Structure 1
Amino acid sequence: MAARHFVAAVAAVLAGASAVAGPTAPGAAIAARIDGEPVYAFTLDALWQQRRAAKPSLERRAVLDDIIQVRLLAARAGNAAPKVQPGATVAFAPEVMVEERLVATLREVYGKDIDTAVKAQPGATLESLVIAQPPMSQPQLDAIFGRQGRLKLEIALTAEQQSLAGKADVLRYRLPGGEPASVTLYDVYHRQNVQGRLALSQQPASVAAQQARRIVANAFVLHWARQRFGAEAVADLRKVIEDGDTVVALQNLHGVGLDTDAGSPLLNRLSGEVSAQEIEGFYREHKDLFARVDRVRARHIRVADEAQAQRAVRALQQGAGFAATARRMSRAGDAAKGGDLGWISADGSKDWLASLAFSQPPGKPSAPVRAPVGPNENAYWEIVLVEEQVHGAHPLQSETVRYQASRMIALQKARQQLSQMIEQSRRTVRIEIAEAP
């Protein structure tokens, strides 16, 4: 969901809010006001019903508290947080993603009513909304997308091509009780991500017709909602979704939900500003966070192929001793010593077998691992058993400590900044609750 449930309830802020009267027209009822700006009951009810599908015990007031907190923080953030498209792995225009989630929310909550409205149309489909589908000539399409048959990794129209696309109607339609409108080729292009634009450039006529009907279907849902609940109420729900995007971006900027290796411009800057004294203090206080395995004592079994490796594994699973199995089956030079590798130090120069030993838990033979040999070398398989581990900590002056400590300190500072922003947003506005949810 757009609000993301990231903030604790603001009951303390809302407890002293006074009641105000709201309009009684359908969809125009007010749930709360923030510095005089309304939060519509329609928005609250839509999000409450949607979230209750996953959490039936969710209280309506908790959703209202969340909406208010998200709106406060989004307003406070201003331009501090970049726009994001949650869940999108490639670039969609932010306003397109907001509209898609708005329509999805309306469909999820009011799907039966919307289906009834569709069935009330001639032919019981939205196809009756289409007035015309003008043909697009190949020269016209070539002028916009270039000549067909050329290999393209992506498509990005120039300003001139976008202008031509804006003059090319894909279809014309009329919403119930509305004026004729059109979906242009630019409208379709603008709503696509990278893959969609590439598909559009390769099969412009068919892809454009399909996507134009999706645009009309979305327009019908939004038209239905505005007719039933009012344009201002629907705009309020859209704003909550957009505010949620801003808050998610703001969280990411401040490292909420991220691990220490994840970055943002703010985290990267704060990490670079951490001093050696801060790192040392953090290290002394949180030395357990820098624990490592200093030494391991290990044995191994080396065999020529995977079949022999599986036989060795079965023998071990049936209770054979690891050293005895190594003496009987290993082809390594230390087989007579039961495959004893001795003690391996973390500070020493480790080959791949030593690295494998450091990656294994003690007391349990590893799965057979194929050695990373060259193309002209004979392959072989290794099974490793770590018998003992000696634990220690990365030294203070190591690059590991410098990097990890600076990232964790940066996360602490960023999250503190976000907490301060949340507290300031609570203290600087007047919140009025218009009802008792």
Structure 2
Amino acid sequence: MAERKYFGTDGVRGKVGTFPITPDFALKLGWAAGKVLATQGSRTVLIGKDTRISGYMLESALEAGLAAAGLSAAFTGPMPTPAIAYLARTFRAEAGIVISASHNPYDDNGIKFFSAQGTKLPDDVEEAIEAMLEEPMDCVESAELGRASRINDAVGRYIEFCKGTFPAHLSLENYKIVVDCAHGATYHIAPSVMRELGAEVVEIGTKPNGLNINEKCGATDIRALQEKVLEVKADVGLAYDGDGDRLIMVDHLGHKVDGDQALFIIAREALRAGNLKGGVVGTLMSNMSLELALKQLGVPFVRANVGDRYVLEKMQEKGWLLGGENSGHIIILDKNTTGDGIIASLAVLSAMVQHKLSLNELASAVPLFPQVLINVRFAGGANPLDSAAVKAVAAEVEKRLAGKGRILLRKSGTEPLIRVMVECEDGVLAQQCAEQIADVVRAN
């Protein structure tokens, strides 16, 4: 795979107003993508966004670039990332574009693409777009220019799609649910989905103003959700991130239920129903208790690199349908082609309803092991992980954990840091082992 200049693991992302998240680059990116993607025949690209104020600027620039390449843009307005993946398929579009920086603050933004099949673009297509970005921009003849339109029923379509994944014979009647939409792209969707399935809904994080996305709310900061669940005596709390592809839950006691625990609940339910094809994909950061709990059920488990892109690649390689991250990205491939917070929450809620069990009872099957993470800064140059002393202390700690814990040592991709992670049933032992390794890393 060629070295990327612009595309990271999740599209192009950065600070608004700083290259490449600028109107002139978005214009050129729209044009380059239009040149490369015009293969389906529909000559239309869907453009959705989250609620950041910069979304207006970037969608206009992308639309102009696409038009110059001869492709039309169909705007959905604020929509979750997984909704664009779904709508790109149903509209037989050339592609879907999402303008979002997910769980980041409002002054970041990003541009990511989905194929006509609703999946992240293949590497060769991203590389072709990068190559086209180096070419001088031109413009098709006036008669061939793209147009702009708005899909007025996009929200309703996606609400019905989400509801369709919830078993028809079940209802959320008698459930009180607090829904925290992070002032993001699910603000006008998730509460409606839950209400239409019968729940009493208490909303927080549903008043976006362009600047408050992910601010002290949503999947990355659940304190407000925990407080509200306890205050209104709710059965469960649901927190999505800014673009709606992550889910973190809160039980009726105010305890956090993370992506690993939700993934287990969904896997166990699929196994009971005979719908679990193969096993489950997690990541290097997935809690060891998830692995052990799945092992008790006889369910195979493999780890991918951190990032939903890598989880999906591993799922496709194995032919499996279920995977996710502890951060709350959960991919249920027979329901949607990407991580989908609303659909993941409905899968967990259906297990609660089906078995008349609380979220706390369901999640208790995966009591998370304490994880200790120490970041050790180094001066660059030689990688400390290559030193004999670090390898020796890692082997010694592995022996000390005796199969009841694990260590993960990795170099940060963005900073001169070595990340030392130790996970173990015994939190004190995990702390001791992490410090022991970190001391040796510092000395090397």
Using structure 1 for the length normalisation, give the TM-score. 0.21
| Structure (1 or 2) with the larger CA radius of gyration | 1
Greater RCO structure (CA 8 Å; 6+ sep) = 1
Q: TM-score, normalising length from structure 2?
A: 0.21
Comparing both structures, which one devotes a greater share of its residues to strand? 2
> Greater share of helix residues, 1 or 2?
1
